[in-house]
Amino acid sequence: MRFQEDDQYIEKTLRGNLNAYGQLILKHEKFAFTLALRLLKNREEAEEATQDAFMKAFHSLKTFEGNAKFTTWLYKIVYNEALGRLRKTKSYSVSLEQVVENADESSVYLDGLKSLQLNERKELLQQGLDCLKPAESAVLTLFYLEEQSIKEIEEIMSLTSSNIKILLHRGRKNLLESIQRITKSEIIHLL
Amino acid sequence: MKNQSKEDYYIREVMMELGPDSPSANFQQTILSKLRAERTISVYNPVISSLGWKLIGGAIATLVIAVLFFLPSGDSATPLFNQLPTITIPKAGIKFPIISLASIDISVIAIQSLVIFSLFALVSIVFTLRKWQTS
């Protein structure tokens, strides 16, 4: 399905066309939901949070000035909504301690990952992401999957760029470590 | 540094491979139905209808007129009500009733209240008429 530019849908929505907002939802639902899911790690909760975020976005669409990308604005609403739910249910904190750089064998290990089947690789990565802390998982999703810049992630998460870089670095490390851990345990199970 | 860029490259690649997750099939429709439900206009039904207000207004006006015209205004004056039977059609000369307004002893505060009430009533009438013209 080919979508129009966001501002066209926004303009139509502001003129009272609800179907245009429906198209806007359809265009961004997957990425918005993925962000909520990576934070909340529960499909039902993530879906509710994303729906509430879209409702909030609709009600404050008039305040969207267009200075930033619509996705940045929307993801900020989704992130805050998911974060609010996370804080209600679990203890959530963004730890920003510097990661000690250890020249491990992760790059060698990554070559091994390449040799796996696509489905296996996907499953591994999903499990690895589930092991990460919500903030790390959210940063990796925003940076790699949703291709947001550091500046945009700063805006979404209300953190400084150095904090984002730390979270990114640690997220990468922890993701690889958790994938390594999962594969090792699987091999042990096989043995 | 080279190690980190390799990590970066691989993670980007696998993240793209993994792709975004999809919400349930009726995700969009759920949001739209919630928004549509919010949009439905609630129709205002007043407790007293416009006909009711007209009847009440008519009754009050009748009462005021009745009090002013039919109540005795003093010792010398005959109430209008008592004069009604004297009007006999067969007679050639028509006697017009002697109209005398009843003098009501009202306190200053009551008069002030009535004036303010009348002003507010006038304002509400003006606004209602404007509303009818625009709608």
pLDDT tens per residue across all 191 residues of chain A: 678 888 899 999 999 899 999 999 999 999 999 999 999 989 999 999 999 999 999 999 988 887 889 999 999 999 999 999 988 876 555 555 544 444 455 555 666 666 667 777 778 788 888 888 899 999 999 998 888 899 999 999 999 999 999 999 999 888 888 887 877 765 555 54
Cα A83 vs. chain centroid, distance in angstroms? Answer: 12
- Inform me whether the C-beta atom of residue A9 falls under 8 Å from chain B C-beta atoms: no
Residue B124, in any domain of the structure: yes
Residue A100's pLDDT is 45
Residue B85 lies in a domain: yes
Q: Answer whether residue B109 is part of any domain.
A: yes
Across the interface, of B11, B21, B34, the residue whose CB is closest to A144 is: B11
Residue B27, in any domain of the structure:
no
Q: Which residues 137-166 on chain A approach chain B with CB closer than 8 angstroms?
A: 140-141, 144-145
User: Does residue B65 sit in the same domain as residue B98?
Assistant: yes
Q: What is the pLDDT of residue A88?
A: 84
Whether B131 and B91 share a structural domain: no
A84: enclosing H helix or E strand: helix A70-89
Residue A13 tokens, joined? 């929505």
Is the residue at B37 inside a domain?
no
**Is B31 contained in some domain?**
no
**B57 & B76 share domain:** yes
B75 shares a domain with B97: yes
* Contact in structure between A122 and A19 (CB atoms under 8 Å): no
In this structure, is residue B30 part of a structural domain? no
CA-CA distance, B81 to B97, in Å (whole number)? 10
B58 and B86 assigned to the same domain: yes
My answer on whether B57 and B97 are in the same domain is yes
B50 and B95 inside one domain:
yes
Residue B57 resides in a domain? yes
Q: Which of A157, A141, A144, A146 is nearest to A83 (CA)?
A: A157
Give yes or no for B122 touching A (CB within 8 A): no
CB of B28 less than 8 A from some CB of A: yes
| Same-domain check for residues B48 and B98 | yes
Q: What token pair was written down for A55?
A: 């409702």
| Cα dihedral B4/A37/A23/A6 (nearest 10) | -40
**ipTM, interface predicted TM-score of the complex:** 0.78
Is residue B80 domain-shared with residue B116, that is, in the same domain?
no
Residues B59 and B76 reside in one and the same domain:
yes
Total domains in chain B come to 2
Cβ-Cβ contacts under 8 Å, B31 against chain A: 25, 51, 54-55, 58
How much is the pTM? 0.63
User: Are residues B69 and B110 both part of a single domain?
Assistant: no
Domain that holds residue B109: 105-135
Q: How far is CA A48 from the centre of its chain?
A: 16
Q: In terms of domains, do B64 and B85 share one?
A: yes
For residues B43 and B123, what is the distance between their CA atoms, to the nearest angstrom? 25
Tokens 């979404």 -> residue: A156
Give the closest residue to A39 by CA, choosing from A130, A111, A128, A124: A130
Yes or no, beta carbons of A30 and B22 under 8 Å apart: yes
Q: What is the pLDDT of residue A102?
A: 46
Q: What H or E segment, with its residue span, contains residue B48?
A: none
